[in-house]
Structure 1
């Protein structure tokens, strides 16, 4: 049966209502719940005497929304929780002249200080301050920056997903990010999914892998803040950085836009491998086309009170993937360019209501429907070596802001979301009902065939459904020189998955003629490994997951030019460690009470990491008390969630047989026996979780300085150190003695993979940033990163496994996504005639890679062992030692040695440009004609973002198997040149 639409919109509303109903009864959030800014200062008279009781009123120039407060006994005032925008502030006190401050610009999370001097009545004073936010933030203790609306609208952006502009900041990358997952590695260099992603202060990550849950239309994003390291105590569940996005709201002016961005093969230059196929085989230029179109509109429902904003966007891309193994004598029929169509529909709606000057609410709904053909095909991976994914995603959220008094502000927020994950093969995009296994679905699965130079097949695909309920609350209280914040949150994110049987995977030690047809399958010889799970059986798994957090934070100004931030938070993750299970439940643990009883491994009741206290301390010293030179430093302890996907194996043992056969017979690995009968007698691999497993922990420290050059230009320098430990890694605790042939300590089982806190990563970086805010027609930002990461984490995604459990030191080496140098320069210039030019230049040095032996050298049933004499990530870091060991190993196999020129690098050098010509039509109407060119100079950038060994569903890019003659080569490339034309109509 085909999949039905679910869940209904009404279920979202019911869930949200429940969340907001209980919200005020708990003390909740974390992670900088507020996306607003604050205007603070001291009111005094001309003799510097402080003035209490001054009425200060801030009015948003765009929406007319008003916020009022009164200065305290010491003259201090604070207006917090203000949405990003332009504000006019008026100060009034009987007997004194009114003071007006004009055009104060607040960006996300910004606190600006404006001290006010009032004169005796009779002198009307109006002060006009710059419309720009300060380029040096005198009270900021963390390492962060804001990507503004001006940058989003003026710089070239290939995806129209603004989070990609996070890469303008130092200490960021998108290495190892899965295609179409608009993720980013942030600051700490830990791993891909360690950062927090927030939309309007609410969580936007899914619980199984930690990737972003859904995308939003670009027109719905106002701006976002990128926190690179040492977030304050209100941020949690992040071992690295934070991206906090503020969405748009309607204004008092009805406005909107409609647009179309267009790409076509006539605007493209073939990449290196497409060109080679064209020149040698006469392959035609891929028939590429991309349409991205949408619209947005916003305005008042009740002027100065109620506003609406909505946006929709659709992307339809007929793209192609090129398979190029470098061994066409064996795989010529697998090679070529293949269609890889995909689409994504995003939509967004938001209503803001200013109840009165002290209370406001917003409600928003956002959704995305996406489908693409292949996650990681191309290069050495054949067209059907992976599947596509159909992903429906929806969320509804609401928030209430209440100015309780001139000293107190409370914000409560809630969210309900759904995420569906329905993988499918490239040849059949049909999606079925969850936990339904008709014959048509089972026919989608194709056995995997892995050779040294190529892979083929898609053996299975599990469906995943995720729901999330979130409620949080922040309370801010200002008392003299102290601003206290108290908060906490609860987030329930259960998931379910169905696991169909798969058709197994074959691994061969030599390249052989193969095209996927039964004829060539029949001719294959000498496999070295066969693996399969669940022959003829399917199961369903339920994975509950609850995050709870509380924090307290004090921003203290002991003197006017010193800010000290002190905080403590507590994080607790419940239920994720299978603590709701009972080891005697035979529906989940079918071998209970038998010779293969696993209950001795489990202590569910006592699992859980309950001591996750995270102290935070930071300071910002405005050395001359003029906002020009600020020295800052911070220290903090941070925790990362345990991703639910890591718990799946423990719920699978013996419910689905885990078969692993070395040197199997072919084509029948079972030797004529029934697969289930074979599995019932042969020792099986099992997966367990260390009962003492803890959340990974990072200790981060920074020290830096910001120096204003002009009022709109500054340079920032920060030194970052992040020491992360306790990353969950699988290790075999039942290894064979004496390598591949000895007995196991526990002969009842084969490999016993235990998830333990074995991984660590140490990251050191110098982050430099020179920025010039928009003024006199131009802006620019230049970022440079000098970084070094070392550790033993095989991947940078969710987890990984120890390569050799009896020699764990082999995994020690550079981080999998280590790039020593990164330079990103961006800028925009407005020419006469309303012509704007924007450009981004990106330069990144190469990542490392592994040298894999292509055989199971340690008898653990996994063909991932390093070449003897090498360690993890040695490629492109110590090539001389690597090649000496590789060539010695190849000599034992009768294979020729490799020269140093064999090893490719994935250094990246590209310039992207955008030209925009505006035509004014009057009454706020205009037409923009836009042209963008990506990789203007056509440099061949080889695609290998998966890094050392491939990770998180991203292939390494390099051929890692040294038995292949193309070891060390990268067989994929990014576009040489790609142009885009667009038209945008605004009103």
Structure 2
């Protein structure tokens, strides 16, 4: 351990010595080209000056022996390139627009003449990057500003690109995406080159700190074939660039408003004749940027305030008296500041800070899929969240052809979630017990009674060197990346006790069917846990242009993650400090880009990609050890009390009085303040803890059609290996196939005996890395660049994901029977399998009605899979109640029932698809040159599609195949008015 820390320190010191610099290289942009004379002869020694036309900053270099040049590490934006050589006229090409993450090819032809003679040419920048094998695209500032966005979260605009699925959350600030059928945890969010990720669970809930749309200049989405500089990404990279100050004062002011009179009743409110929630949204803010020292130092700042009351309807067909509506209060105070200083031609730095403060009220408990439990009006929670992200970047250019990038970053998250009692008192044991019925939760919400504090610190250094030679030019880049993640949690969930009932009927002391069949309660005290993870990455990347039309990308990356776990009472380790470290994560990556002409590229490649050791991947080992001061005890321990579901009163002492918590008896069983034997599920770390990895391969073609239209088609193939699957070392076998049948445990490895303990009474989980999934997809895109007063984009993704795991990081193998894994029975579609996704977006300004503007976004997706089963029957007697039913046609019974064709097995049926069309119509005034005032009217979900979440596939439930939840919280047709002042 000591050697490891010393090695890290030496590596960081070496990076700083090599450094003296930095630039936003992750997602960095570059301009390259070849300079020739009018007879196509190459011209070495040509002086090249690249100028950002808005902030006046410049970069200089000279062409090499082969007449080529490269200027890397540029901030995206408008540029001009000037070339001069003695005996030739000076030539300047203007109107160049450099996009984030792209390389712009600017070839110039000099003509003989006096150097004092200036020749200026203008040409539109090409839409196609002829040198990159990466698959993805960019979303421009024009699209960000002029397309309708109901959530005002930039994550929704990521789905404008093919292969991207937009996952709207009940809390719109947690919107996320999945890309090419891969889990959202594998999406890495960067902002200005620095991390904006949640180190607890990756990109599952989107970016950590939400940047306001008005502060984003543009963003890039890489969906396949990430270069070696990108680590931890197995699904995609979303790289946002914030706006910066220029030599001209510029900014904006925005305002949006809607209320319940402009919002329709949602599907269930109208159908069930419920009270319409009092919805509203007031959002306002602004930006300002400008010079501190012209051509040298600039600033940019933004502020945004959101106050939204978002309508939610929660429906319980079996208990309509519990159905309710609420206006969920989502608030946000968002501040951002950025400083850029161009000290001289060789040195510059930038600093950016983003703070997003969210005190949210009346938050609804849902499980995000409508497949299980939802809260009642008595379980509404409060979430107070503070997120911020800081990045500082220092760039040094050495000799015009070398660039070093040094970047320091920090990301912070501090949420406190729970009902008012928890927020005010901080002691959840004072709350009434949670009542978990078959289809809903009542009385108290024990899913939220926790506090977390997470900090992630990063240090990156990258050195780039442009080398010309007889074998072609090389853009060589190598670097180091280090991150320290710390996660502290205080968890009081279930300290109030949770009674689990077999029906939805209200408790009646005279009716045994209404008694609980199990009690869960956290003992002896709440969780207090600090987790740490160290991540080290090294990479080497060469973008080798063999000849003018062929570019090879050759890369190698190495990652190592050290996540310490206390291995006490773990028979697989000889010492408590002897935790595993996966050191074998070498990742070769190769790609090619062949340009048959000036406007088309054939691209493809192969790469190996490892997942990051997100904190929630190993925290279970510390949360659920053999001996602990906090675990969730179950009474009865082994299986539910069989009485209530059979019409008999329970016999367990903690259940005989119904849903009343006997705290004195619990304290006798597990005295407070003690280190207790964990009688619930135990998790044991193993020496073979490793990281999952992924093979990626793609082949694609992109072509510019005319001056303004581009078409792209890419086939992607992914194979995920070593995915985690839980394996039970203390499995049970039931006496019969009944749900409440007694279960006998078998200690497969004699773990209890090895530890000198009495037999384990519950599951003992280890994680095996035996899961595999495959994904095949075809991504198509047409993009009409904004010109002649209109622009549009069409994206389509066709894909299929399949494997012996559902593709989520917490997947289980529900078909294990004693020591037989029966892994073949776990084959089926992944949870994220959506066969078809399509998005159409566009914006315009009418030339014959000058000032009239409009925009639209339409999204269509087919449904996600789920399993048809009956939890009343345990066919394989393993105690896991999800045995799939045979293939066939299944139908629900009752209002809002659906019919599905079930292929059998895991995820054999598919739920409802979705369609949403959002529109904007407005009028743009131009009171002065460089100033605009937009007044507009927006309509979201204009067709009022209900867009249901998947129903439950459990035949035991009275809600079997009955849709009763809207996807992502859902919302009906809504109108909004807004205004934007730009200057």
TM-score, with normalisation over the residues of structure 2? 0.86
Does residue 180 of structure 2 align to residue 188 of structure 1?
A: yes
Correspondence for 2:429: 442
- Residues 176 and 290 of structure 1: CA distance in aligned 2, closer, same or farther (over 3 Å): closer
Structure 2 partner of 1:933: 939
Q: Give the corresponding residue for 1:299.
A: 290
Secondary structure of 1:458 counterpart: coil
| 2:892 is aligned with 1:905 | no
Matched, 1:805 2:778: no
Specify which of 321, 324, 330 is matched with residue 315 of structure 2: 324
- What does 1:538-553 align with in structure 2 at a 5 Å threshold? 538-553=526-541
CA distance in 2: counterparts of 1:847 and 1:486, whole angstroms:
41
Aligned to 2:584: 611
Deviation at 1:521, TM superposition (A): 8.5
Match of 1:137 in 2: 129
The corresponding residue for 1:733 is 729
- Matched position secondary structure for 2:185: helix
| SS of match in other structure, 2:915 | strand
Aligned to 1:674, the other structure's residue is in SS state helix
* Match of residue 693, structure 2, among 697, 705, 719: 697
Query: Does residue 854 of structure 1 match 2:846?
Result: no
8 Å contact 2:519–2:654 — kept in the other structure? no
Distance 1:28 1:703 in 2: 39
Indicate the residue corresponding to 1:663 in structure 2: 640
Matches within 5 A, 1:670-685: 674-678=665-669, 683-685=679-681
Which residue of 955, 958, 962 maps to 2:951? Answer: 958
Q: Is the 8 A contact 2:790 2:843 kept in 1?
A: yes
How far has the Cα of 1:722 moved from its partner?
Answer: 0.8
374, 392, 406: which one pairs with 1:381?
A: 374
Q: Which residue of 2 aligns with 1:833?
A: 850
The secondary structure found in structure 2 opposite 1:294 is strand
Specify the alignment match of 1:638 in structure 2. 609
Measure, in 2, the Cα distance between the counterparts of 1:323 and 1:22: 57
Residue number among 235, 245, 252 corresponding to 1:250 in the alignment: 245
Q: Is the CA contact (8 Å cut-off) linking 1:389 and 1:424 kept in structure 2?
A: yes
Question: Relative contact order (alpha carbons < 8 A, sep ≥ 6): 1 or 2 greater?
Answer: 1
In structure 2, how many angstroms separate the alpha carbons of the residues matched to 1:242 and 1:370?
25
Which residue is equivalent to 1:506?
499
Residue correspondence of structure 1 range 755-794 to structure 2 within 5 A = 755-794=767-806
Give deviations 1:208-245, integer Å, cap 9, x for gaps.
Answer: 11133111121111000010111111111111111011
Native 8 Å contact 2:79 2:94 kept in 1: yes
Are 2:43 and 1:51 equivalent residues in the alignment? Answer: yes
Q: Aligned pair in 2 of structure 1 residues 160, 667: CA closer, same or farther (>3 Å)?
A: farther
Please report how far the alpha carbon of residue 732 of structure 1 lies from its aligned counterpart in structure 2 after TM superposition.
1.6
Cα gap change, 1:40 to 1:531, in 2 (>3 Å): farther
SS at match of 2:312: strand
Change (3 A) 1:938 1:299: same
Aligned: 1:338 with 2:326? yes
Give RMSD over aligned pairs. 3.1
Q: Which residue of 1 aligns with 2:259?
A: 264
**For this pair of structures, how many residues does the alignment match?**
900
- CA positional deviation for 1:431: 6.0
Do the aligned partners of 1:325 and 1:454 also contact (CA within 8 Å) in 2? no
1:204 and 2:196 aligned: yes
Equivalent pair of 2:870/2:954 in contact (CA under 8 Å): yes
Hey, what does 1:866 align to over in structure 2? 882
Q: 1:776: how far off?
A: 0.8
Q: Deviations over 1:411-469 (max 9, x none)?
A: 111112321121112x557267xxxxx54x43357424131466774225221111111
Alpha-carbon distance in 2 for matches of 1:230, 1:682: 45
Evaluate the alpha carbon distance shift between residue 854 and residue 507 of structure 1 in structure 2; reply closer, same or farther with a 3 A threshold.
farther
Q: 1:249 Cα deviation (Å)?
A: 0.2
Which whole-Å CA distance do the structure 2 matches of 1:522 and 1:214 have between them?
52
Displacement of 1:757 after TM fit? 1.7
Counterpart of 2:113 in structure 1 is 121
Structure 2 CA distance, aligned partners of 1:651 and 1:28?
Answer: 41
Decide which moves more: 35-44 or 183-192: 183-192
Q: Deviations over 1:398-418 (max 9, x none)?
A: 101111122211111111232
Q: Find the aligned partners of 2:619 and 2:678 in 1 and give their Cα distance.
A: 22
Gaps of 5+ in 1: 1-17, 433-437, 584-591, 871-877, 888-896, 945-956
Residue deviations 1:186-207 (CA, integer Å, cap 9, x gap): 4332212111110111111121
Q: Does 1:816 align with 2:831?
A: yes
Contact 1:29 1:471 in 2 (8 A): no
- 1:10 aligned partner: none
Q: Is the 8 A contact 1:453 1:966 kept in 2?
A: no
Going from structure 1 to structure 2, the CA distance change for 1:879 and 1:44 (only over 3 Å counts) comes to: same
Q: How does 1:304-319 map to 2 (within 5 A)?
A: 304-319=295-310
Question: Do structure 1's residue 492 and structure 2's residue 492 form an aligned pair?
Answer: no
Contact 2:87 2:113 in 1 (8 A): yes
The CA distance in 2 between the partners of 1:860 and 1:316, in whole Å, is 51
Contact 2:606 2:697 in 1 (8 A): yes
Superposition deviation, residue 182 in structure 1: 4.2
* CA apart distance, 1:782: 0.4
Query: What is the CA deviation profile of residues 773-793 of structure 1, one whole-angstrom value per residue up to 9, with x for unaligned ones?
Result: 111111111011111011233
Q: Do the aligned partners of residues 858 and 526 (structure 1) sit closer, same or farther apart at CA in structure 2, a change above 3 Å counting? A: farther
Cα deviation, residue 56, structure 1: 1.1
Q: Secondary structure at the match of 2:269?
A: helix
Q: TM-score, normalised by structure 1?
A: 0.86
1:565 shift after superposition: 0.4
Change (3 A) 1:302 1:28: closer
- Cα shift readout 1:543-570 (whole Å, capped 9, x = no counterpart): 1111110100111111110111000000
1:667 and 1:736, CA in 2 relative to 1: closer, same or farther beyond 3 A?
A: closer
**Structure 2, gaps ≥5 residues long:** 1-9, 642-649, 657-661, 671-675, 736-741, 751-758, 903-908
- The more displaced of 561-570 and 153-162 is 153-162
**In 2: Cα distance, 1:860 partner to 1:482 partner:** 62
- The Cα shift of 1:849 comes to 1.5
State the alpha-carbon separation in 1 of the partners of residues 37 and 618 from structure 2: 64
The equivalent residue for 2:5 is none
Q: What is residue 24 of structure 1 aligned with on the other side?
A: 16
Q: Is the 8 A contact 1:658 1:686 kept in 2?
A: no
Shift of residue 635, structure 1, vs aligned partner: 0.3
* Whole-angstrom CA distance in 2 between matches of 1:407 and 1:22: 21
Query: What are the residue-to-residue correspondences of 1:360-509 with 2, within 5 Å?
Result: 360-372=348-360, 373-374=362-363, 376-377=365-366, 381-383=374-376, 384=378, 387-425=381-419, 427-428=420-421, 430=423, 438-439=426-427, 441-444=428-431, 446-452=433-439, 457-459=444-446, 461-480=449-468, 481-500=473-492, 502-509=495-502
What is the deviation of 1:540? 1.2
The Cα offsets for residues 920-978 of structure 1, whole Å up to 9 and x where unpaired, read as 22253332102111111222321x2xxxxxxxxxxxx4223311232112212332311
Q: Distance in 1 between matches of 2:268 and 2:394?
A: 54
